[in-house]
Amino acid sequence: MAEAERPQIYLITPPTLEPAEFAPRLTAVLDAHPVACVRLALASTDEDAVARAADACREVTHARDVALVIERHLGLAERLGLDGVHLPDGARSVRAARKALGPDAIVGAFCGTSRHDGMNAGEAGADYIAFGPAGATTLGSGERAEQALFEWWSEMIELPVVAEGALDAATVKSLSPVTDFLAFGEEIWREANAGAALARLIAAMA
């Protein structure tokens, strides 16, 4: 697969992180691989903790012209100087987020396995739609975003699509021709050398 045809890389932070420890790890990965976007996806609702993590990640990403979006915390996106927001509730909040952040911000929507929800989110103003989990997982209901969903979307819809959740090498290889972005989170951060883990997944695209 030619470089231009490959999906772009989208990174998702761990749900808990220590900014001083995570920033060098993120730096190493971004310096080793071309990444289009990073999502700050913290489990914490503590604004101070989220702000500290956002500051550390923003310093790394913006120095490298990589977009940084935040999951859920719409009110913090603009205040912390981030590039936009990732909404985990499908189309429900897209219109409000677009109105709050303006036309230039990135607004992404996670739509699970629902083609209908994806189309509604696109019509409401989302910049990209994420489907998942694309790989096999015991988390949640266990329902997967199947290959056929990405094939249909790539044929019928121009809006960029992200595949995420439990991505292994085999899933990466099969989805690469039919998705615009592949999103990696714990798949790489659980490894001591996250950059090497990402390199193996990128190699699977070929």
Question: Rounded mean pLDDT of the chain?
Answer: 95
Which band of pLDDT confidence, cut at 50, 70 and 90, is reported for residue 102? Answer: very high
pTM of the model: 0.96
Closest CA to 99 of 67, 76, 74: 74
Q: Lowest-pLDDT range, 1-10, 11-20, 153-162? A: 1-10
pLDDT value of position 1: 45
The confidence band for 130, taking pLDDT boundaries of 50, 70 and 90, is: very high
Q: Which residues contact 109 (CB under 8 A, 6 or more apart)?
A: 86, 87, 89, 90, 91, 94, 117, 118, 121, 126, 128, 129, 130
CATH number of 35's domain: 3.20.20.70
CA 180/CA 162 separation, integer angstroms: 6
pLDDT score of 116: 97
The residues that bridge with 61 in the sheet, in sequence order, are none
Instruction: Give yes or no for residue 188 having a pLDDT over 50.
Output: yes
Closest residue by Cα to residue 133 from 5, 12, 7: 12
Q: Which of 71, 53, 73, 72 is nearest to 61 (CA)?
A: 53
pLDDT for position 68: 98
Asked if the model's pLDDT at residue 164 lies above 50, the reply is yes
Q: 2 pLDDT exceeds 90?
A: no
Is 157:119 a contact under the CB 8 Å cutoff? yes
Residue 99 has pLDDT above 90, yes or no: yes
pLDDT band for position 142 (cuts 50, 70, 90)? confident
Query: Mean pLDDT across the stretch 172-190?
Result: 98
Q: Specify the number of domains making up the chain.
A: 1
Residue 102 burial class via C-beta count within 10 angstroms: exposed 0-12, middle 13-18, buried 19 and up: exposed
- Matching residue, tokens 């990403």: 61
pLDDT digits (tens, 9 = 90+) for 30-73: 999 999 999 999 999 999 999 999 999 999 999 999 999 999 99
Mean pLDDT of 163-186: 97
Question: Which domain covers residue 66, as residue numbers?
Answer: 3-203
